[in-house]
Amino acid sequence: MQRVCLALPTMRPCPGTIVDLAEEAAYAVANFGVEVHLLILDTTDAAGVAKNAAAVASLPLTPGVFVHHLSEAQQREFFRRVAERSGAADPELLLDMMLPPAVAYGSCVNRIFLGAAALGCTSAHLRNDDADFQVLDGRKIFPIHHELLSIGRPAGEAAADVTRSELDPADADMPVLLVSGSFMGELNVDIGEIRELDPAVYRDVVRLWTPPVWPDEDRDAMVDVSFKGTGTEPFTADESVLGAPDIWNVFMCNVALDHRAYEVLPLLPSIKTLGCDYALLHALVHARMPAVIHNRHIVNYYTPERRTGAGFVPYQMGFVKLLLSMLYLYPVYGGMIDLGRGLLDERHGLKVEPILDLVRGSIDWDRAGNEHCLDVLDRSYRKLGGKYAELADVVAGQREQLLDEAQEDARRWAVLIEAWAPMVAASRAEGLGAASEVPAR
């Protein structure tokens, strides 16, 4: 029986999301005959963990659905064992990259990948705690429907279960390693207020994350589509397309990945950095792997803490760090585009060696681009005034630290990529253990 991992990383109480995902898991079992392991990796405080645990304990017993709810302490113990078992020279460094002392979006997804390996799953299906499912005629619209129709299958077979195929016949034997929908609702990065205050400043700021080697018109076009998802049109009927996708049509919180992808390449383990969890999607897209893109989009919303006095600066600093990370990511992504199918082996699987070479080559990239980025941000935030001027002061006070951290993140990513295969093998050998499974009511 196919075993899949439906995964939720969370750092806040989210009992409603847990209930929704349990329903999605039950839907998958009932309609596809799979075994679903609902993996909840919880890094909330003790009170938040208790709320989430209560939601888990109240879930109805569903044959074929197995729930695993791990607190931060339980995760730390598991990943410590995995790091030590991997034979790494510095297991403490690996543990720090897997479970750092601050929020790290790439790291939490990497933990899902190793958790899925430990559970013996063939695919990981990622969701988030700040998104809802669409509803049609009282039914929740679960993305796992399209994911299980196609993930892991030869593309030629998957063509029978999509509404439109753009598959090159020569790619029929290639596996579908990626199935994704997008999102609707709020921007997936909370910077809409900047656009409301000053559209010109918004354009200047968002332009900082576009590839600097592109012509101005292409950079401006990228600004126009960035962070916006699929618009506002609600779901009415299924649409799915098989073919080589555009990177703008994939979304990390509405995605299924085959193990032959995530067991090869981990994500950037940057702390306090938004949007650092897309490298694997870039690799699959730029290798021109066939994928399925569907319209079961999730509904993105904002959690209140990011706009509070205490939460505003940390959240916006995550956006600043995203902009700085692109200095090291764009050489990697550009190299992936140049390599194309050269990223694949004779079995159509990702090769880690060329990607690792690209990452290593980016580490000593000239910092001038990031110096310019911080200069533009300083002018832009001060022009907005108010809390953005205060943000500019924080950025200025951490300028050298931010530049150093962006470079160090690239260096640490190279270390993690090199250690990833042994970490995956160690996770599979270690197993998540029966102790992680939570009995439902």
pLDDT digits (tens, 9 = 90+) for 3-18: 999 999 999 999 999 9
Q: Model-level pTM?
A: 0.95
The CA distance from 22 to 39, in Å, is 10
Residue 229 has pLDDT above 90, yes or no: no
Q: In what order do the strands lie in the sheet with 178-180?
A: 65-70, 35-42, 3-10, 123-126, 255-258, 178-180, 291-294, 240-243, 164-165
Residue 439 has pLDDT above 70, yes or no: no
What's the confidence (pLDDT) of residue 436? 63
How does the average pLDDT of the chain come out, rounded? 94
Take residue 272 and report the two structure tokens written for it.
Answer: 């306090």
What's the confidence (pLDDT) of residue 217? 93
Q: Residue 306's pLDDT band (boundaries 50, 70, 90)? A: low
pLDDT digits (tens, 9 = 90+) for 420-434: 999 999 999 999 875
Q: Residue 441's pLDDT band (boundaries 50, 70, 90)? A: very low
Residues in the chain: 441
pLDDT digits (tens, 9 = 90+) for 161-220: 999 999 999 999 999 999 999 988 777 788 889 999 999 999 999 999 999 999 999 999
What number is the average pLDDT over the span 380-386? 96
Nearest CA-CA partner of 180 in 284, 24, 260: 284
Q: Is residue 74 within 8 Å of 436, Cβ to Cβ? A: yes
